[in-house]
């Protein structure tokens, strides 16, 4: 298996309180890697360390390596804008930009200097169709994005992220604030998108993990307890903590 | 006391306090209008003081109206140019440095509490040091120093409420901090910024102590930044100190003008803020 990202001995602490302890794992290219675990186990922090959003946390200290296409992104010389543009982020709830629907999609393109009207029009249509939002919003592209429903906003955020042409999609419990129908749409999109993108999905929903995963990483209290293919991890867990989590003894 | 009477007591207390303070405010406005409206006239709004104006003869307060507008617009503009980047710096650039941001907030809170006469005195020292006379420019600089803390903290409060997730989302799209500052945070906090500008303008136009030594007073309408200028608060002050009743009444008329100006700006900014959303 080809690895898009490999993490070696990643340690992260906030005010000397360890959050991630010696995390090592590989994220395969063009697959869905699910990071599974109970709340507070550090899975969101791990996800955010991938595009260095963890830099924003006061009192944070990191060590170890995160290799993206063979380059260590924790190395201080890296261009953060460059790294972040390679990774689209889908957060727990949608955060539409304070502008209209059209501008939400074109924002990433406009800040990188693409202003040709026809080009932007085409991109907007393309990405909105990609997330099945085009038919719902094509007549009101000039409406503020905040006027959309939460489910629509989340799809808009996905489209907005895809429009900057990332290689990786980071999704942090992307369906946790959505209704079942919108959740299903997002899940289906991910299954379609994995042929072109490397997807890292953080979830605490076991059933979602089973539906989506090509590769599973189970975390508990800041440590990677076990990782492997869904078949290995779900049907034949090795570690007692994984076994008790999978049997529903804690969430 | 059982919980029910306790609840009733506090409800009553809150209700009465609210009524009391709204009542006092209404009383202020009504008594100013009652004394001021009869002596308010078209000539008063459109002419400058003629000889003998301060003894109850012909003239108006156009010099003070124009002077106050010049001064407050200048000071608010200057305070915004300085204050807006400070607030953005605190909320977009220094997100990781909590302690520093809290220290900056503390400094501005202290500065907010410093009486305006102290700013006036400071401005005066500065003028003496630089050899500048009382002028519109000296006033604008002094008043802008005095309202910068208000501007910064008011914009800061509205930027503070922008969710962290929006910052993270914007960074993930590959934005630089300056793009986030101007394209996203300032837009998201647009209404708060308008409110901050209004609040600062209101303080600037209503303050007498900071302009007393720095802007001076004159019956003429200033034609350059280096000339002294009249202001409405000082115009009220000088007319009110007069022993002549007709002149005192004109002080209330001037106060009516001042209140109306603040009201119009409040309504205008609210209108702009609402239309935006």
The pLDDT tens digits along chain A (251 residues) read 688 999 999 999 999 999 999 999 999 999 999 999 988 889 999 999 999 999 999 999 999 999 998 889 998 788 888 899 999 999 999 999 999 999 999 999 999 888 899 999 999 999 999 999 999 999 999 999 999 999 999 999 999 999 999 999 999 999 998 899 889 999 999 999 999 999 999 998 899 999 999 999 999 999 999 999 999 999 999 999 999 999 887 76
Question: Residue B273 above 70 pLDDT?
Answer: no
Q: What are phi and psi of B50, to 5 degrees?
A: -95, 175
Both B20 and B58 in one domain: the answer is: no
Q: Picking from A41-45, B49-53, B117-121, which range would have the lowest pLDDT averaged per residue? A: B49-53
* Residue located via tokens 């607030």: B87
Reported for B90-96, long-range contacts at CB under 8 A and 24+ positions apart, including other chains, are B90/B156, B90/B159, B91/B156, B91/B159, B91/B160, B91/B162, B91/B185, B92/B159, B92/B167, B92/B177, B92/B180, B92/B181, B92/B185, B93/B177, B93/B181, B95/A56, B95/A58, B95/B167, B96/A55, B96/A56, B96/A57, B96/A58, B96/A60
Question: For chain A, how many residues are written?
Answer: 251
Number of domains in chain B: 2
Q: Which residue has the higher pLDDT, B15 or B264?
A: B15
Q: Minimal CA–CA distance to A83: which of A71, A65, A96, A95?
A: A71
The verdict on residue B107 lying in a domain is: yes
CB distance from B176 to chain A under 8 Å? yes
Name the CATH superfamily housing domain A1-83+173-216: P-loop containing nucleotide triphosphate hydrolases (3.40.50.300)
Both B7 and B118 in one domain: the answer is: no
The verdict on residue B89 lying in a domain is: yes
pLDDT tens-digit series, residues A108-143: 999 988 889 999 999 999 999 999 999 999 999 999
| Confidence bin at B52 (pLDDT 50/70/90) | confident
The verdict on residue B169 lying in a domain is: yes
Q: Minimal CA–CA distance to A151: which of A180, A188, A194, A190?
A: A180
User: CB B173 to CB A57 under 8 A?
Assistant: no
The size of the A-B interface in CB pairs under 8 A is 74
Both B84 and B221 in one domain: the answer is: yes
User: Is A96 in a helix, a strand, or coil?
Assistant: coil
Both B33 and B100 in one domain: the answer is: no
The verdict on residue B44 lying in a domain is: no
Q: What does the block give as tokens for A10?
A: 């990643």
The verdict on residue B48 lying in a domain is: no
The verdict on residue B230 lying in a domain is: yes
Both B77 and B212 in one domain: the answer is: yes
- The shortest CB-CB distance from A89 to any of B98, B169, B179 is to B169
Both B260 and B141 in one domain: the answer is: yes
The verdict on residue B63 lying in a domain is: yes
Q: CA-to-CA distance for B270 and B191, rounded, in angstroms?
A: 8
Structural element, H or E, at residue A234: none
Identify all chain A residues contacting B175, using CB atoms and an 8 Å cutoff. 81, 107, 111
Mutate to test the interface with A, among B169, B170, B180 (most CBs of A within 10 A): B169
Mutate to test the interface with B, among A78, A90, A94, A97 (most CBs of B within 10 A): A97
- Over range B218-240, report the average pLDDT: 93
Identify all chain A residues contacting B192, using CB atoms and an 8 Å cutoff. none
Mean of pLDDT over chain B: 92
pLDDT tens-digit series, residues A34-59: 999 988 889 999 999 999 999 999 99
CB distance from B95 to chain A under 8 Å? yes
The set of residues, in sequence order, having a beta carbon less than 8 Å from that of A189 and lying 6+ positions away, is A130, A131, A132, A155, A158
User: CB A58 to CB B97 under 8 A?
Assistant: yes
Do residues B181 and B92 lie in contact, with contact meaning Cβ atoms separated by under 8 Å?
Answer: yes
Both B29 and B64 in one domain: the answer is: no
Print the domain residue range for B67. 53-276
Distances (CA, A) of A111 to A122, B52, B182: 17, 63, 12
- The shortest CB-CB distance from A95 to any of B97, B163, B187 is to B163
Do residues A115 and A196 lie in contact, with contact meaning Cβ atoms separated by under 8 Å?
Answer: no
Q: Minimal CA–CA distance to B124: which of B107, B141, B108?
A: B141
The set of residues, in sequence order, having a beta carbon less than 8 Å from that of B74 and lying 6+ positions away, is B136, B140, B144
Q: What does the block give as tokens for B257?
A: 């003008």
Q: Nearest residue of B to residue A146 by CA position?
A: B277
> Residue ranges of the domains in chain A?
1-83+173-216, 93-169
User: CB A53 to CB B171 under 8 A?
Assistant: yes
> Cβ of A21: how many Cβ atoms within 10 Å?
15
Both B26 and B63 in one domain: the answer is: no
Q: What does the block give as tokens for B158?
A: 């509205």
């Amino acid at each position: 298996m080809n690895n898009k990202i490999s993490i070696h001995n990643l340690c992260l602490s906030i005010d000397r309180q360890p959050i991630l302890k010696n995390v090592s794992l590989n994220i395969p290219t063009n697959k869905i890697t699910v990071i599974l675990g109970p709340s507070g186990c550090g899975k969101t922090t791990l996800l955010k360390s991938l595009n260095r959003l963890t830099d924003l946390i006061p009192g944070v200290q990191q060590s170890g390596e995160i290799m993206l296409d063979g380059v260590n992104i924790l190395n201080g010389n890296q261009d953060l804008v460059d790294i972040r543009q390679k990774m689209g982020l889908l957060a727990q709830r949608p955060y539409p930009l304070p502008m209209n629907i059209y501008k939400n999609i074109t924002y990433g393109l406009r800040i990188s200097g693409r202003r040709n009207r026809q080009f932007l029009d085409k991109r907007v249509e393309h990405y909105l169709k990609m997330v099945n939002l085009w038919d719902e919003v094509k007549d009101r592209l000039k409406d503020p994005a905040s006027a959309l429903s939460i489910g629509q906003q989340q799809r808009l955020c996905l489209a907005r992220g895809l429009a900057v042409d990332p290689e990786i999609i980071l999704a942090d419990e992307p369906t946790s604030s959505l209704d079942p129908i919108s959740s299903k749409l997002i899940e289906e999109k991910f299954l379609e998108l994995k042929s072109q993108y490397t997807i890292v999905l953080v979830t605490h929903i076991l059933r979602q993990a089973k539906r989506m995963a090509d590769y599973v990483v189970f975390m508990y209290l800041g440590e990677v307890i076990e990782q492997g293919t869904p078949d290995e991890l779900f049907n034949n867990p090795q570690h007692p903590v994984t076994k008790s989590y999978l049997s529903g003894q804690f969430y | 006391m059982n919980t029910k009477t306790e609840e009733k007591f506090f409800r009553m207390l809150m209700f009465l306090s609210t009524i009391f303070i709204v009542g006092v405010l209404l009383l202020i406005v009504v008594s100013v209008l009652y004394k001021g409206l009869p002596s308010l006239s078209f000539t008063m709004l459109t002419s400058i003081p003629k000889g003998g104006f301060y003894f109850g003869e012909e003239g108006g307060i156009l010099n003070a109206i124009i002077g106050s507008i010049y001064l407050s617009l200048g000071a608010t503009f200057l305070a915004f140019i300085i204050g807006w980047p400070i607030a953005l710096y605190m909320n977009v650039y220094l997100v990781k440095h909590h302690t520093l941001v809290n220290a900056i907030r503390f400094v501005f809170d202290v500065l907010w509490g410093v009486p305006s006469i102290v700013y006036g005195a400071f401005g005066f020292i500065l003028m003496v040091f630089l050899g500048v006379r009382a002028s519109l420019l000296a006033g604008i600089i002094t008043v802008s120093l005095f309202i910068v803390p208000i501007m910064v903290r008011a914009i800061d409060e509205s930027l503070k409420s922008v969710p962290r997730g929006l910052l993270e989302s914007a960074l993930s799209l590959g934005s630089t901090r300056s793009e986030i500052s101007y394209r996203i945070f300032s837009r998201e906090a647009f209404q708060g910024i308008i409110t901050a500008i209004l609040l600062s303008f209101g303080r600037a136009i209503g303050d007498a102590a900071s302009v007393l030594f720095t802007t001076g007073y004159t019956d003429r309408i200033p034609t350059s930044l280096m000339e002294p200028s009249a202001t409405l608060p000082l115009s009220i002050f000088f007319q009110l100190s007069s022993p002549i009743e007709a002149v005192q009444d004109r002080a209330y008329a001037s106060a009516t003008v001042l209140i109306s100006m603040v009201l119009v700006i409040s309504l205008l900014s609210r209108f702009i803020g609402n239309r935006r959303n």
